[in-house]
Amino acid sequence: MEELLERLLEECRPYAQQGRVADYIPELSKARPDTLGVYVIGSDGKHSWAGDCRQPFTLQSIVKPILLLQALLDNGVEGVQSRVGMEATGKPFDAINASDQSLDSGHINPMVNMGAIVMCSLIHGDSYAERFQRLLELTRRLAGDGEVGVDEAVYRSEKSHGSKNRALAYLLKSYGLLEGDVEEVLDCYFRACSIQVDCRSLAHIGAVLSNRGRLPVSNQRIFPSGLARYVNAILMTCGMYDGSGEFAIRVGVPAKSGVSGDIMAVVPTRMGIGIYSPALDGKGNSIAGIQLLERLSKELFLSIF
Ligand code: GLU
């Protein structure tokens, strides 16, 4: 496996030159575009990796499936579905994805910003601090790393360049679709996006989802299998922004990407994969990362279709 990963990594590295590092959040623009790392954790517990796989970066949108899981654990399926829908928007992650007439909870997708902001408000806890701490604890368990924390510089940068997200949150509030203090909910969202991980943590999150809610090796259950099916289905239909359809054809596994250039892929019953390469394509997905996943999928027959 390691030889295969090394070979694919060298084949895909040049693609990074065709992409652009996200710069709408100034702190993200500091990433080195030529970085490329991949980490795989198999259902047998075997770890394999290549490249810059211990380079830290922030979760960004990959926190959305974790927020969804936390929301489902705290509110149940019906509780979540009364606030956040299931259908792909086919629009960019920060789009105001409905016209004035049709803004209702059924149009809010959990893998775009509006849905993520609503899900921040669904986390249970007596105080804002407790609610964020619970999300962080779930992230640590999923990542298999008790040290996972927030990158404060990225958090400050997100918060001071978050006008679009503020607009989305206040719009939701004005429609009665967002409970609680808007600034507090937004702060939770900015912090959540700024949780720092590496390719190993992403592969571990993917491995738990691929193992339907059980930790690799110990097989300890950390959430019900029905919730893994829920999250994986949402990842399959809308995890890769408005490039999810093409990704389903080219790669064919549930996955989520983030604007830091990270991708977390779930190969049900087989493996979790974490990739980092910050140069993005026009839709916000890591350009070398998708190339690498496409090749890996072909070599190992990973597509579920
Ligand atoms: N922090 C980012 C934002 O809301 C997350 C976007 C993403 O990774 O898609 O602008």
> In the prediction, which pLDDT does 80 show?
96
Question: How far is Cα 213 from Cα 209, in angstroms, rounded to an integer?
Answer: 6
> In the prediction, which pLDDT does 90 show?
77
> In the prediction, which pLDDT does 102 show?
66
pLDDT, tens digit (0-9, with 9 covering 90-100), for 30-83 = 999 999 999 999 999 999 999 999 999 999 999 999 999 999 999 999 999 999
> In the prediction, which pLDDT does 111 show?
95
- Say whether pLDDT at 13 is over 70: yes
Pocket-testing residue among 63, 66, 188, 193, ligand 1, by greatest number of atoms within 8 A of Cβ: 193
> In the prediction, which pLDDT does 99 show?
58
Which ligand 1 atom sits closest to the C-alpha of 193?
1
Are 279 and 21 in contact by the 8 Å Cβ rule? The answer is yes
- Say whether pLDDT at 130 is over 60: yes
Distance 156 CA to ligand 1 centre (A): 14
Distance 191 CA to ligand 1 centre (A): 11
Nearest CA to ligand 1 atom 7: 61
pLDDT above 70 coverage of the chain, percent: 98
**pTM for this model (two decimals):** 0.96
| Average pLDDT over the chain, rounded to an integer | 94
From 103, 70, 68, 67, select the one nearest 86 (Cα to Cα): 68
- Say whether pLDDT at 101 is over 80: no
Question: How far is Cα 28 from Cα 209, in angstroms, rounded to an integer?
Answer: 27
> In the prediction, which pLDDT does 113 show?
94
Count of beta carbons in the 10 Å neighbourhood of residue 218: 8
Q: List the strands of the sheet with 262-267, edge to edge.
A: 47-51, 37-42, 271-276, 262-267, 255-257
> In the prediction, which pLDDT does 95 show?
75
Distance 148 CA to ligand 1 centre (A): 19
From 77, 76, 61, 191, select the one nearest 134 (Cα to Cα): 191
Pocket-testing residue among 244, 259, 260, 280, ligand 1, by greatest number of atoms within 8 A of Cβ: 259
